[in-house]
């Protein structure tokens, strides 16, 4: 795919009612201050604008920002309220509208996390099911190659509305919490709208028309049932326990964060098919050098324990803080193709070394920069049991080319900047170890993975 990325480096800045003092040089950097005695009050925010151009989905523009309210500073570095907003759009119809609110103080003794998101994706990655058992041939996407089919061959269109509200409260002391929530996901699935993506293009650069993509073939072969091919609506109940001893949630230097969640989608709630799933995740943080060097790791096992999952609910992983796309890409396996590792039961993990090489006070804001090195891994450990038309020779040949599933592995590094211990902007670059998982990925966004 022809891509030109023009992305601004992270812009980190903050505001509060007492940050301006006459006679103070706003550009002064104090590298000797005591971070333990620094307290932030009032309202601060960080922002990250981004501009990109992709030949296939058009010009992308947008921004994301996070507002933090600290009040009188008595809870710092913990915030009283967090408001996260993200908006982006492309000239050919892809986009994201997202709002996430998080607070431990809106309702006494109850933490609430609420989200409303709407995703419009003209070209979402789709490689099939069950990891390496899904055959991936990159030559199908390479213009000029004898086997070229379309740059959109491993893509389909998805529009999704997500609304959720999650609640947590103390079960035993402050470290062990209960969690309960309700989540709605509405999906509209279709093949890629080639006519729309070809608008305004030169004849030599147009995508092939009337060419079946992998999604179309899966529908034709019956691997995606007719009742699922256009998407559907799903309501999820979530229940769980969380054990949390982190010293600072956005950037822990020590502690444990473990959770076990039960997700249920009962048919009596209006779901076309019902299922139940577990999400067990353990994260741990070690201080190797005080306030400077830390080691963090995350492992998660997320099996289906009953029922029938539609194909469009497979590429998701679940945590108490947010629902993510499936394994592969910016938030799970960096450097591996997005949604490359999709199945009913999945296992994944990350190990990351974080070094804060500069901590300072700038514009009356606490600021640090850090370098990181990481390795990510994951695997399908329970297959999605789909059926297909065995009488179709093309289908038999396609699925016979799949290989045995094994560990998907990537590695890389990144740089991040953090404002007042909460707003963390990062640039990560990862490389896939196996060519069946793609080559590499560059990711710019907010917050550590875990």
The predicted-structure confidence for 135-164, as pLDDT tens digits, reads as follows 999 999 999 999 999 999 999 999 999 999
Higher pLDDT, residue 427 or 363 = 427
Handedness of CA 72, 77, 78, 80 (dihedral sign): positive
Q: Which residues contact 89 (CB under 8 A, 6 or more apart)?
A: 60, 61, 62, 95
Lowest mean pLDDT among 71-80, 383-392, 434-443: 71-80
pLDDT higher than 80, residue 416: yes
Percent of the chain with pLDDT over 90: 69
Domain locations in the chain as residue ranges: 3-446
The DSSP H or E segment spanning 426 is: strand 423-432
pLDDT in tens, 54-103: 555 667 789 989 999 999 888 888 899 999 999 988 877 789 999 999 99
- CATH for 3-446? 2.40.160.50
Higher pLDDT, residue 15 or 125 = 125
Q: What are 74's two structure tokens?
A: 């008595």
Q: What are 54's two structure tokens?
A: 């992709």
**Residue showing tokens 């009188």:** 72
Model confidence, pTM: 0.87
Please report the beta strands in 78-134, taking only residues with DSSP state E, as ranges in sequence order.
Answer: 81-90, 95-107, 110-125
Distances from the Cα of 383 to the Cαs of 5, 75, 311, in angstroms?
36, 46, 12
- How far is 417 from 228, CA to CA, in rounded Å? 43
- How far is 86 from 155, CA to CA, in rounded Å? 24
Percent of the chain with pLDDT over 70: 90
State how far Cα 296 lies from the chain centre: 18
pLDDT in tens, 260-277: 999 999 999 889 899 999
Q: Choose among 316, 330, 329: nearest CA to 160.
A: 316
Distances from the Cα of 174 to the Cαs of 74, 169, 240, 247, 262, in angstroms?
18, 8, 15, 13, 21
Ramachandran angles phi, psi of 134, nearest 5°: -90, 115
Lowest mean pLDDT among 51-55, 345-349, 373-377: 51-55
- Contact between 90 and 58 under an 8 Å Cβ cutoff? The reply is yes
- Contact between 207 and 151 under an 8 Å Cβ cutoff? The reply is yes
Provide the phi-psi class of 71: left if phi over 0, else alpha when psi is between -120 and 50, else beta: left
Higher pLDDT, residue 205 or 394 = 394
Distances from the Cα of 250 to the Cαs of 79, 289, 448, in angstroms?
11, 18, 7
Higher pLDDT, residue 30 or 293 = 293
Beta-strand relationship, 95-107 and 81-90: antiparallel
What angle (nearest 5°) sits at the alpha carbon of residue 218, between those of residues 215 and 220?
110
Under the banding of pLDDT at 50, 70 and 90, the label for residue 53 is: low
- Provide the b/e sequence for 18-27 (b: ≥16 CB within 10 Å): ebeeeeeeee
**Residue showing tokens 């492309």:** 90
Q: Which residues contact 156 (CB under 8 A, 6 or more apart)?
A: 123, 124, 126, 189, 190, 191, 192, 213, 214, 215
- How far is 264 from 36, CA to CA, in rounded Å? 43
- Contact between 296 and 369 under an 8 Å Cβ cutoff? The reply is no
428 exposed, middle or buried (CB, 10 Å; 0-12, 13-18, 19+)?
A: buried
């Amino acid at each position: 795919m022809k891509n030109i990325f023009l992305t601004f480096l992270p812009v980190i800045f903050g505001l509060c009612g007492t940050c301006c003092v006459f006679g103070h040089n706003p550009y002064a950097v104090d590298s000797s201050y005591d971070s333990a005695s620094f307290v932030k009050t009032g309202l601060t925010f960080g922002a990250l604008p981004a501009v990109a151009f992709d030949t296939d989905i058009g010009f992308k523009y947008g921004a994301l920002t996070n507002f933090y309210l600290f009040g009188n500073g008595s809870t710092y570095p913990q915030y009283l309220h967090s408001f996260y907003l993200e908006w982006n759009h492309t000239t050919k119809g892809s986009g994201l509208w997202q709002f996430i609110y998080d607070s431990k103080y809106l309702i006494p003794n109850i933490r609430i996390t609420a989200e409303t998101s709407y995703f419009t994706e003209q070209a979402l990655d789709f490689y099939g099911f069950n990891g390496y058992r899904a055959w991936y041939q990159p030559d199908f996407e390479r213009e000029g190659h004898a086997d070229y089919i379309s740059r959109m061959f491993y893509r389909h269109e998805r529009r999704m509305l997500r609304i959720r509200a999650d609640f947590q409260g103390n079960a035993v002391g402050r470290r062990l919490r209960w969690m309960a929530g309700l989540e709605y996901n509405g999906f509209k699935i279709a093949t890629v709208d080639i006519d729309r993506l070809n608008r305004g293009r030169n004849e030599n650069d147009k995508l092939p028309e009337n060419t079946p993509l992998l999604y179309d073939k899966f529908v034709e072969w019956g691997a995606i049932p007719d009742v699922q091919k256009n998407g559907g609506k799903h309501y999820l109940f979530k229940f769980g326990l969380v054990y949390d001893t982190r010293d600072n949630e956005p950037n822990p230097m020590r502690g444990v964060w473990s959770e076990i969640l039960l997700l249920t989608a009962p048919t009596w709630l209006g779901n076309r098919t019902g299922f139940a799933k577990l999400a067990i995740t353990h994260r741990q943080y070690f201080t190797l050098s005080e306030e400077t060097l830390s080691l963090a790791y995350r492992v998660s096992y997320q099996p289906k324990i009953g029922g029938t999952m539609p194909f469009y609910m497979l590429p998701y992983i679940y945590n108490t803080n947010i629902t993510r796309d499936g394994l592969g890409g910016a938030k799970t396996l960096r450097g591996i193709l997005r949604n490359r590792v999709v199945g009913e039961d999945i296992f994944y993990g990350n190990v990351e070394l974080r070094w804060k090489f500069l901590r300072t006070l700038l514009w009356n804001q606490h600021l640090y920069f850090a370098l990181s090195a990481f390795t990510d891994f994951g695997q399908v450990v329970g297959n999605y049991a789909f059926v297909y038309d065995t009488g179709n020779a093309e289908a038999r040949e396609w699925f016979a080319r799949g290989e045995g599933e094994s560990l998907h592995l990537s590695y890389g590094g990144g740089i991040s900047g953090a404002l007042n211990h909460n707003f963390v902007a990062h640039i990560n670059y990862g490389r896939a170890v196996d060519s069946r998982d793609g080559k590499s990925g560059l990711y710019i966004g907010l917050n550590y993975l875990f």
